Amino acid sequence: MPRAQHDYDDIPGTFVFDAERSRQGYGINMFCMSLMKDENRKAFKANEAEYLKKFPLTPEQATAILNREYNRLLELGGNIYFTAKLGATDGHSFRHLAATMTGASQDDYAKMMLGGGRSVEGNRSKSGRDKLAPKSAKAKSAKPKAVKPKAVKPKSKAKSRSKARSKRG
């Protein structure tokens, strides 16, 4: 079944890990979590394709794992914190993975992040629609509605009496 589209799917450069992606990526994430144990890492490295048969993976997910297509793993439901275990199994740092996923060198990636990250300019929407902008000129000029203050609820008499008694000593 195709994935339902959401407004946040328009954000460039990322795949939001929501409940639907979590369900979709269950096999990927269970595989990645298995790599926390040394004996599993060794078994995986000895025969990667055979080891993957232990998990409920689609052919696309298995291919993405075998080819170390990290962005594709996220698109197919992988959680970045779990998929990082695959990179660590290969001896890579998270900085290496992030640089690979952004198409930058490790040094360029580190400089970008230390400089405050990517510019928001040009990175607000894949489709070109700026979701943060008002939808019409009318929305820009609309005045905020006055907010009516809520009525304060009087304290119960029982609470008031007990406070009065405690003050008298």
Number of helical H runs and strand E runs in the chain: 11, 0
**Between 135 and 56, whose confidence is greater?**
56
Contact assessment for residue 6 and residue 18, using Cβ atoms and an 8 Å cutoff: yes
Predicted local distance difference test score (pLDDT) of residue 117: 76
Gap between the Cα atoms of 57 and 63, Å rounded: 10
Backbone torsion region of residue 103, taken as left when φ is above 0, otherwise alpha when ψ lies between -120 and 50, otherwise beta: left
Tell me how far the alpha carbon of residue 65 is from its chain's centroid: 19
The chain-wide mean pLDDT, for the chain, equals: 76
pLDDT at 124: 58
Indicate the burial class of 76 (C-beta count within 10 angstroms; 0-12, 13-18, 19 or more): buried
16/9 Cα distance (integer angstroms):
7
Return phi, psi of residue 28, to 5°. Answer: -60, -50
Residue 148: pLDDT over 60 = no
Q: Are 88 and 41 in contact (CB under 8 A)?
A: no
Instruction: Quote the percentage of the chain above a pLDDT of 90.
Output: 34
**Residues in the chain, total:** 169
Helix (H) or strand (E) holding 37: none
| Least confident span in 2-11, 46-55, 74-83, 96-105 | 2-11
What is the reported pTM? Answer: 0.62
Give the Cα separation of 85 and 83 in Å (integer). 5
Higher-confidence position of 69 and 132: 69
